[in-house]
């Protein structure tokens, strides 16, 4: 039993108790990647809880030789790896890509992509457009398989982003200066609020600052002739 199989045997029941599915285990020198999933989706809190549980279980079982490694626990992402029969059964009808082991085919072709038509305990049936038919593949001949995310369909169905509202252009400094000049000219040409008649009737100040009294004209003056 290799390291990945040992880790899977140790952490699968621990994750199951948390309601989390173990999707895949990849072991590389100094690095261990554990991929998990959950029907309701995974958030940061769930991944953190799973990481703590997996780390504790691995330390208790001393499942990783050498004891020094970097543990990575993550969600599958948009393209999920398929390893076990139940994985394939769940994604029947989806687009998948597979890579076969060397020598699995007579023509030497190893990579295929198409719709997963069926899956059982022995293998899968893949609809391959390039071959215009179905290809039966045993699990023992599979080296790697994963779902294929349809980016074109996702982009076509994605809502268009709202166009930002156009901001009203701010007048330039030259326009503001021209407007201020025209406003000042309009004020200078406007008639005074006091009429000329009111100005004529207003008392004028004398030299000492006191307003002058209006003087009577000859027509208003009483004239007395001296005999």
- Mean pLDDT of all residues in 95-112: 90
pLDDT tens track for 14-51: 999 999 999 999 998 889 999 999 988 889 999 999 99
Whether residue 62 contacts residue 69, with contact meaning beta carbons closer than 8 Å, is answered with: no
Distances (CA, A) of 190 to 34, 182, 183, 197: 84, 12, 11, 17
Per domain, the residue ranges of the chain are 3-74, 85-153
Give residue 50's pLDDT: 95
Q: Rounded to 5 degrees, what are φ and ψ at 37? A: -155, 165
Quote the strand ranges of 4-151, DSSP E. Answer: 21-28, 31-37, 70-74, 95-100, 111-119, 123-128, 133-138, 142-147
Q: Does domain 3-74 have CATH number 3.30.300.70?
A: yes
pLDDT tens track for 150-197: 777 667 776 766 766 666 666 677 777 777 777 777 777 765 544 444
Of 62 and 192, the structure prediction assigns the larger pLDDT to 62
Q: 85-153, what's its fold?
A: SH3 type barrels. (2.30.30)
pLDDT tens track for 115-162: 999 999 999 999 988 666 889 999 999 999 999 987 776 677 767 667
Entry pTM: 0.56
Residue 176: half-sphere exposure toward Cβ, Cα within 13 Å? 5
Q: What average pLDDT does the chain have?
A: 80
Whether residue 137 contacts residue 88, with contact meaning beta carbons closer than 8 Å, is answered with: no
The secondary structure of residue 154, as a DSSP letter, is: H
Question: Widest CA span of the chain, in angstroms?
Answer: 159
């Amino acid at each position: 039993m290799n390291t990945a199989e040992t880790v899977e045997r140790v952490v699968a029941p621990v994750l199951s108790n948390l309601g989390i599915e173990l999707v895949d285990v990849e072991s590389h020198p100094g690095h261990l990647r554990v991929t998990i999933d959950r029907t309701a989706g995974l958030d940061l809190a769930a991944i953190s809880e799973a990481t703590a549980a997996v780390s504790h279980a691995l330390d208790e079982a001393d499942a990783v030789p050498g004891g020094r490694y970097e543990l990575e626990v993550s969600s599958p992402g948009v393209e999920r790896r398929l390893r076990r029969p139940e994985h394939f059964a769940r994604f029947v009808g989806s687009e998948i890509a597979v890579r076969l082991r060397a020598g699995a085919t007579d023509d030497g072709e190893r990579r295929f992509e198409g719709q997963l038509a069926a899956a059982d305990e022995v293998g899968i049936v893949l609809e391959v457009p390039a071959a215009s038919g179905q290809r039966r593949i045993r699990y023992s001949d599979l080296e790697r398989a994963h779902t294929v995310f349809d980016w074109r369909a996702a982009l076509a169905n994605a809502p268009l982003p709202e166009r930002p509202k156009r901001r009203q252009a701010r007048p330039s400094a030259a326009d503001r200066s021209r407007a201020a000049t025209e406003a000042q000219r309009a004020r200078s040409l406007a008639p005074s609020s006091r009429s000329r008649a009111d100005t004529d009737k207003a008392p004028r100040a004398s030299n000492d600052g006191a307003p002058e009294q209006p003087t009577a004209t000859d027509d208003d003056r009483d004239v007395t002739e001296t005999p």
